[in-house]
Structure formats: structure tokens, C-alpha cells
Structure 1
Amino acid sequence: MTRNPQTVVITAHGQPSAPAPAEADLAATAAAVAAFLPGWDVRSATLAAAGRLEAMMEDGAVVYPFFMSRGYFTGTVLPARLQGRHCRLATPFGLASGLPEVAANAVRRAAADRGWTLGALNLMLAAHGSARGPRAAEAAEDFAARLRPLLPGCTLSLGYVEQDPRIKTAAASLPAQSVCLPFFAQAGDHVKQDLPEALEAACFSGIVLPVAGALPGAPALIAAAIRAASLDQDAAG
């Protein structure tokens, strides 16, 4: 008998003002993740695309929150959209135990490409932050705490879009041997507009890495989290 494929729906915030580009980016992420999940039906839906999440859902599906924290959207909006659905909600991307190593590898490669040593390197995490509550900043600070031991000698700081210290302030004193890692799942307006504007205003002359969700190793990390959520679902059943 042929077993029906396990379904996973990868969901992200998206861009309410222009849903299509973010939806296409998330579909590309889903395709990359699918390469690590043979036999699975890997789908994607942003919350900004009206009705798409509901259309993509199947009973018993794993829902993977492509978010950086357990905040308002994962704690309130997403459960409300999934109300009445039988599904398993995986751990958000930003809280993945393997994400610091993925980020550390990217930082090490960027430094090595330029002949920089970790002891002379400054790393700034550019994160969202939030005026709604502390969860977003707590996730970024927890990530920074897990990342520091993997980059011995590197000076690590944080800057936020929506709370202090702002990215412009955090980046203003950084030397040329600096790397900025955007602690975001997708490259939305904050990454495409707010971050470059803040770095330009700070006269930042270092390297800007891709968002955390686009780093090499991210699709495999997501696939592993989806498998783990599915196993938990099976055990609970």
C-alpha cells in the first residue's frame, strides 16, 4: 500500500503591502527544504497572503513557523488562523538549537575570505525587536548568548529596528573589520530598506551577510526540525 506523503506548511509573516515577492521567496525556501525531506509534501504560505495558509493546510500537517521568536504572530495570530485544525506546530526557526552553528560558519567564512581573524572581528546582530513585548529581543539575546562561544575572541553586539539600542546607534562605533548578520527569517522591508538606511547613516563599512533564514545550512536545519515535530506528533498520537 502506498503511504500518503506527510504534509508540512512552512509559514512566515510575509509583506502585507506587497505579498507576492515574499510569497515567492518562501516558496523557494520550501523547495530547498523539500530536497532534505524526500517523500514529504512541502508547502508554503505567508500570513500576509489572504486565505493562503488555510488553503494549504491538511489534517495532521506539521506547521513550521519561519519566524525568529515566539512572539505575537506565532503566539496569537498563527494559532487563531489554525483554530479547529489538527496539526503540529514546530519550534520557530530562530529558536533552533543548530542555528548558532549555521551562523558561526557563515561568519567564519566571511572573515576568512578577507583574511580577518576572529580576535579582531566585530559582529553585530541586526534584529527586529518589538514595541509589543520582550519576546523578540529575548530571542535575539538568547541567540547571541549561544553564538558567542562559537566565535571565540569576536566582539558581539546587538542593534534593533524597533527598540533601543537602534541599529544606527549600535553600528556607529564599529570598525571596518565588522560583520552585520540580519537576525531575520526573510529579507522583507526591514532588511531591504530600514537596515541599509541605518547602516549608511552610521557610516558602517563592514560586511552585511544574508538574513539568517538564507544562510547555507538553513534548509537542512528546517528539515530536521520538521522531522522532529512529526516524530513528536506520532508519539503523541
Structure 2
Amino acid sequence: MTSPHAMPVHRPTAVITAHGQPSDPAPQERALAELADAVASLLPDWDIRSTTLATSDRLEQVTPQGALVYPFFMANGWFTSSVLPRRLQGHDVHHLPPFGLDPNLPGLACDALALACAARGWSLSQTRILLAAHGSARGPKAAEAAEAFATAMRDRLPGTTLATGYVEEDPRIATTARVFEDTAPARPSLCLPFFAQAGEHVRDDIPDALADAGFGGDTLPVLGALPQVPQLIANALNKALSGPGVTSA
């Protein structure tokens, strides 16, 4: 029998946040909520919440004191280092490293490439990989994260050609894709979007750039859609909770 004087048990709370799509917030808000539900199913003792930055004031409303904030972003760039802290100013929260910097993600990406090649009857070592990333005119962090990710993948895929291309900086996606087509058009190619969510860049900019270059390969889903991502996030949250200075909300 529970004592009437027992202290209430507080569940750890995590808020998964992403950039979202300011021009049409609802679809990515729903997608992020589905991801949060998947993470919650792996962490039944947690309170898992979600919001995109595109939905006005929602981040501040759903983030309680003591929460862990998980940035579903690919780099520790302007949004994660400046926008998130500014919007949560006055909130006593613990910010985790962004999704794209998780050291286990390159291995999952390589596994996904291996499965994609096997499904097509291709040799992975003979397949060229175009890592299509956002880049940024605001600073170097976005490209640095993509290049570090590409290096980690190359270490796991010896002999495989893997090159980066960017939406917002050089080398542009079309430039890298055109090099692929000009040097060895007969070799198979895959484009892997280095993105957490499938917004306008993934739906429009990347296909347009690839079409402009005459890219003959296939484009895979974004990294944030990998089936292992909910477990990846759950592991990161558990690790953060057990770390120094983090308490339940």
C-alpha cells in the first residue's frame, strides 16, 4: 500500500525538436510526433514530447523545467547553438548533441547503403555515393558535420567512392552529380540525403539538382527515416540521463 505521504515520482521528460517547414508546418509536425511516439514506446517510463521550431511558441510551451532537449538536426549550427538556447532562455534544460553528430549514425547509414545495393543487385564497393547535404551561408558547421560524416562512412566503406554536394554552398549537389556522370556513367550511383526530415530541400531542391546534372542513380530516404532512429534517440536519452548533472523533470 502506498503511503499518503510518499513523494510523487517524476518521469524524465525529453523534447525532440526539429526545424520544421515554416511555409507548411503541419506535415513535419505530425512526422516528428510519430517519431516521438516511436521513441516513447521504447522508453515507457519517460514523457517524450516533440515540436518543430516552425510552430510559433510551441517549443516554449511543451518544454518543462529539467527537460532533456534532443535536437533532431544534422549539425551543431546556428539553430542548435543560437536559436534553441535563445528560445529556451530561462528554462533549466539539458541540451543533447544533435542527431547528425551521433557516432553510431554513420554505421547505420552504411548498413542502409549495403541493403539498398543488395536489393538492386549492385556491388557496394562499385557503387558511387553522393551525400547530399544542406550546407549553410551562415557558417561552416553544417558542412563540417557533413564532411565528418562522409569521412566516417569512408572509413567503413574502403574502396567506395563517396562525395558530398550541398544545397546552399559549393560544391553544389548538381556539380558533384555531374562529375559522377561525366567520369563513369555506367557505374551505379546512390544519393543519400544528409537530412533529418524530408522537407522542401529533399522533395524539391535535391531532385531538381540531380535532374539538372543528368544523374542516373537512385535517391534513398533521408537519414532521419532509418528504422533504427527511434532506438538511436532512446539510447542517447538514456545515456544523457545517467550523465553528470542531469535529473528527472
TM category (shorter chain) comes to over 0.9
**Distance (whole Å) between structure 2 residues aligned to residue 57 and residue 21 of structure 1:** 21
Q: How does 1:127-146 map to 2 (within 5 A)?
A: 127-146=133-152
**Alignment match, 1:172:** 178
- Structure having the higher Rg: 2
The ranges of structure 1 where at least 4 consecutive aligned residues each deviate by more than 3 angstroms after the TM superposition are 233-237
The superposition leaves residues 5-51 of structure 1 with CA deviations (integer Å, 9 ceiling, x where unpaired) of: 21100000111111111111111111121222121111001111001
Aligned length: 237
Q: Partner of 2:242: helix, strand, or coil?
A: helix
Unaligned runs of 5+ in 1: none
Report the TM-score, using the length of structure 2 for normalisation: 0.91
**Alignment match, 2:207:** 196
Q: CA deviation at 1:235?
A: 5.8
**Distance (whole Å) between structure 2 residues aligned to residue 225 and residue 207 of structure 1:** 31
**Alpha carbons 1:94, 1:139 under 8 Å: kept:** yes
**RMSD, aligned CA:** 1.5
Q: How does 1:1-237 map to 2 (within 5 A)?
A: 3-174=9-180, 175=185, 176-234=187-245
Aligned partner letter, 2:137? A
**Distance (whole Å) between structure 1 residues aligned to residue 96 and residue 246 of structure 2:** 14
**Alpha carbons 2:94, 2:246 under 8 Å: kept:** no
Unaligned runs of 5+ in 2: 1-5
**Distance (whole Å) between structure 1 residues aligned to residue 156 and residue 227 of structure 2:** 17
**Distance (whole Å) between structure 1 residues aligned to residue 137 and residue 246 of structure 2:** 38
**Alpha carbons 1:32, 1:219 under 8 Å: kept:** yes
Q: CA deviation at 1:118?
A: 2.1
Report the TM-score, using the length of structure 1 for normalisation: 0.96
**Alignment match, 2:3:** none
Q: CA deviation at 1:218?
A: 1.2
